[in-house]
Amino acid sequence: MSVETTTSKFDTIKWIVVIALVAVAVVGNSYYSDQSLLYRVLGILVLAGVAGAIALQTAKGAAFWALVKGSRTEIRKVVWPTRQETVQTTMIVVGFVLLVALLLWGLDSLLGWLVSLAIV
């Protein structure tokens, strides 16, 4: 899926507005720190929603939205393993980890024993 986007001359202005809204949210949260957390979070969410809506109106925002829609389509195509397959695969991995751990422990013990014979 390819998206043709043309850059508008107003995109730069829109991005400046988005950055200003985010800055207002950050500064406002700090300035009104004595207010209820609920009101501050609601204010941040409103400003973030407005900033996001403005950002989606730009060429890069439209391309990002197309990417999100394409990703959702691809995720729907994934065949997820069943619970039984997941449990079986996990048990195989745990078994191999234990086997490698035992081999490394045995090799370490053998090498430690050989070094102790060489030192003494």
Q: What is the DSSP letter of 80?
A: P
Q: Is 116 helix (H, G, I), strand (E, B) or coil?
A: helix
pTM higher than 0.75? no
Give the integer Cα–Cα distance in Å for 99 and 101: 5
- Reading the chain (120 residues) residue by residue, the pLDDT tens digits are 555 556 778 899 999 999 999 999 999 999 999 999 999 999 999 999 999 999 999 999 999 999 999 999 999 999 999 999 999 999 999 999 999 999 999 999 999 999 999 997
